[in-house]
Amino acid sequence: MSTVAQHEPTRAAVRGESVGFLVVEQRSTTPLGPKIVYANEELSKLSGYDPASLVGSPLGLLYDRSDLPSLIEKLPVIASRPNHCFMDRALLRNGGTRLACRWTIRATNREGEPRGHFALTVRPASRIESPVERVVTLPERAPALAPPAPAPVPLKAMATVGLDYETARSESIFLAAAGVAHDFKNALQTIKMNLELASENPREGRVNSNIAEAQLALDDAEMLARQMLAFTRGEAGHRRTIHPAPLLERASRLCSAGSSIRCRLFQIPPTEQLRCVEGDPMQIYQVLHNLVINARQAMPNGGTIDIVADNADLGGDNAYAMPPGRYLVISVRDKGCGIPPASLARIFDSSYSTKAGGSGIGLASCFAIVRAHRGALRVASEVGVGTEFLVFLPATEDVVEPDAAWAGPSLAPTPPVRLRRPGSSIGRVLVVEDQPGVARATLGILKRLGYESLHARDGQEAISLYREHLDSSEPVDVVLLDMTLPGGLSGYDVAAELLRLDRDARIVATSGYFEEGVDLPAQHRFAATLPKPYGKDKLSDALEQAVAV
């Protein structure tokens, strides 16, 4: 491990302080996480353990046990990123005491480092400087942004939080957002398959309409989950000249979908005079989507959301502390519970949420996306009156027609399930999936497709079931393997063991972390990949591709 040790932090690297440094395996081979393969003297001093005793021990010996399962689940995401992530978690010291620390973790991807490991640093949290937040009090809404009706909500203060863009794009946001997107796509998987099963049977027109609306919302959510994962990877997206009208129309439809919320959309200039912007339409829609969802949640008993779009020419000394220039400004305003002044300055902080159980990721990602488009977010709120968000986006001189493709997918009925293809060699499919809802829906679709199926909840059960059927008259033909599994065995570990048992094992790798065209390590010899959420046709195609290899 000498090559890794040469890359450990020095005293000069972190404000002249010593830093604990350790290297762990990339695969989690124990219930308490991956094994430690190197630890420096500074880590020994912090933890109270001798360096020799740390080597070979699991990461869970030192890392906060309450967060360890979450970290293990996110290791595949961390491995795919070129830079580090950080966590504020307790260091478990020898003797049972706990020390609050700042941890960083990254894959060993630097020159001269051995591949297939993670490098971690640890330093006491008392030495960490907190970011400084700046709140600027601004006057009420500018008259040019007020809708023609009704009278504007009397908001007392407009605030902007002075967060550094790199802070807003910090690795903690990306890691948490990637995990949220993964869990979100698992939920979408369950919805998608159940909707496809439900839509097969003839029903009354109203029920069919409800299913179609649910499918529309599903498409919307799937698009946003994919976009969130792309954003967490730092991908710039597909920039082009955008007319905002279709994005506004789709956001207004989201306001009232399945709720008692009413939406009023105001485009103050005529549509053809509304300014265009440069950017990624999916990312900008993600911002509008999050703001609308927040507005809906602020009015649990129903109400009205106003979405207002206007052109604005701002001078050097404007009411919104914006650089001078030509802007498109979009307002999302509710008449909900409002945000207390003490909370207003923290709403763009990724670790803070005004909702019980909230992650804080939504507004932090909105802030980062708007800043990436050279714009800004402003917010005004009064408790018991309502909240308004203003999205400032620099306008472009280029003009395009509204993009009809952004009006949303059609509500065409779902095509019937395509049964197993004639002559298919697939008889039995082993589904390795820890999420009960996803597993039930997948088994249901496989039955409708004409395949027999088995279910394993974790890696050990999958290996046992495959071994049990290997020499029987009814072997497993294809394994549908979720790559993020609980316990000590990852999807890669399971694949390696199945291929050791049977060199001809046909394995389809599936995950909410995958995107179309994902490339997996060649040594695992996956027959196909299947990003979640997938439908019956993509599932059938992946299974047939697996046996055709």
Of 26-35, 383-392, 514-523, the least confident: 514-523
> Which sign, positive or negative, has the C-alpha torsion 151, 253, 335, 141?
negative
Coil, strand, or helix at residue 488?
Answer: coil
pLDDT value of position 14? 37
Specify which residues 431 forms β-bridges with: 455, 480
Please give the average per-residue pLDDT across 366-392, as a whole number: 89
In-domain check, residue 137: no
Query: Which carries the bigger pLDDT value, residue 207 or residue 500?
Result: 500
pLDDT value of position 164? 32
The answer on pLDDT for 174 being more than 80 is no
Of the three residues 345, 372, 405, the one that is the final residue of a domain is 405
Query: Which carries the bigger pLDDT value, residue 132 or residue 287?
Result: 287
What average pLDDT does the structure give for the chain?
74
pLDDT value of position 376? 92
- Please report which residue ranges of 502-535 form alpha helices under DSSP H: none
154 and 256 in a common domain = yes
398 and 443 in a common domain = no
525 and 452 in a common domain = yes
448 and 380 in a common domain = no
Q: What CATH number is attached to the domain comprising 474?
A: 3.40.50.2300
pLDDT value of position 234? 53
In-domain check, residue 270: yes
- DSSP code string of 150-182: SPPP----EE-B---HHHHT-HHHHHHHHHHHH
| Rounded Cα distance, 87 and 72, in Å | 13
| Rounded Cα distance, 148 and 269, in Å | 11
Please give the average per-residue pLDDT across 6-32, as a whole number: 65
Nearest residue to 396 (alpha-carbon basis) of 231, 235, 239? 239
In-domain check, residue 377: yes
pLDDT over 90, % of the chain:
17
316 and 389 in a common domain = yes
In-domain check, residue 272: yes
pLDDT tens for 38-90 read 899 999 999 988 888 888 888 988 998 878 877 887 888 788 776 778 888 88
317 and 256 in a common domain = yes
pLDDT value of position 159? 43
436 and 380 in a common domain = no
pLDDT value of position 208? 58
Count of domains observed in the chain: 3
- Please report which residue ranges of 274-432 form alpha helices under DSSP H: 281-297, 341-344, 361-372
Q: Are 78 and 115 in contact (CB under 8 A)?
A: no
111 and 156 in a common domain = no
Q: What CATH number is attached to the domain comprising 76?
A: 3.30.450.20
Q: What CATH number is attached to the domain comprising 384?
A: 3.30.565.10
Query: Which carries the bigger pLDDT value, residue 184 or residue 419?
Result: 184
Q: Are 77 and 175 in contact (CB under 8 A)?
A: yes
Nearest residue to 512 (alpha-carbon basis) of 468, 482, 489, 538? 482
Beta-strand runs (E) in 274-394: 277-279, 303-314, 325-334, 376-382, 386-394
| Rounded Cα distance, 199 and 413, in Å | 8
Cis before 82 (ω within 30): no
**Residues in CB range of 150: below 8 A, 6 or more apart:** none
152 and 105 in a common domain = no
pLDDT value of position 389? 92
pLDDT value of position 166? 38
Distances (CA, A) of 320 to 161, 206, 324, 364: 12, 47, 10, 20
| Rounded Cα distance, 176 and 190, in Å | 22
In-domain check, residue 511: yes
pLDDT tens for 224-264 read 566 565 555 555 556 789 999 989 988 887 666 556 788 88
Residue 10: pLDDT band with limits 50, 70, 90:
very low
Instruction: Tell me how many helices (H) and strands (E) the chain has.
Output: 15, 18
pLDDT value of position 410? 40
In-domain check, residue 323: yes
Q: Are 121 and 19 in contact (CB under 8 A)?
A: yes
Burial track 404-435 (b if 16+ CB lie within 10 A, e otherwise): eebeeeeeeebeebeebeeebebebbbbbbbb
Q: Are 249 and 407 in contact (CB under 8 A)?
A: yes
pLDDT value of position 251? 83
The answer on pLDDT for 170 being more than 50 is no
The residue assigned the tokens 């055709």 is: 548
- Number of neighbouring beta carbons within 10 Å of residue 525: 16
| Rounded Cα distance, 306 and 310, in Å | 13
Task: Enumerate long-range contacts of 522-527, CB under 8 Å, 24 or more apart.
Answer: 524/492, 524/495, 524/496, 524/499, 525/495, 525/499, 526/495, 527/478
Of the three residues 370, 405, 440, the one that is the final residue of a domain is 405
pLDDT value of position 421? 44
30 residue type, one letter: T
In-domain check, residue 261: yes
Six token digits for residue 402:
């509204």
pLDDT tens for 507-543 read 999 887 776 666 666 666 889 888 888 888 889 889 9
Of 85-89, 147-151, 312-316, the least confident: 147-151
In-domain check, residue 467: yes
Six token digits for residue 518:
């994902």
369 and 464 in a common domain = no
| Rounded Cα distance, 331 and 344, in Å | 17
pLDDT tens for 348-365 read 765 555 554 444 466 877
49 and 154 in a common domain = no
pLDDT tens for 453-474 read 999 988 899 999 999 998 888 8
| Rounded Cα distance, 317 and 72, in Å | 50
Task: Indicate the pairing of strand 277-279 with strand 325-334.
Answer: unpaired
Distances (CA, A) of 68 to 34, 229, 524: 11, 22, 26
pLDDT value of position 316? 86
pLDDT value of position 449? 85
pLDDT value of position 148? 36
pLDDT value of position 181? 60
392 and 300 in a common domain = yes
Please give the average per-residue pLDDT across 203-227, as a whole number: 59
Which residue segment(s) compose the domain that 537 sits in?
428-548
pLDDT tens for 133-146 read 223 333 334 334 43
The answer on pLDDT for 306 being more than 80 is yes
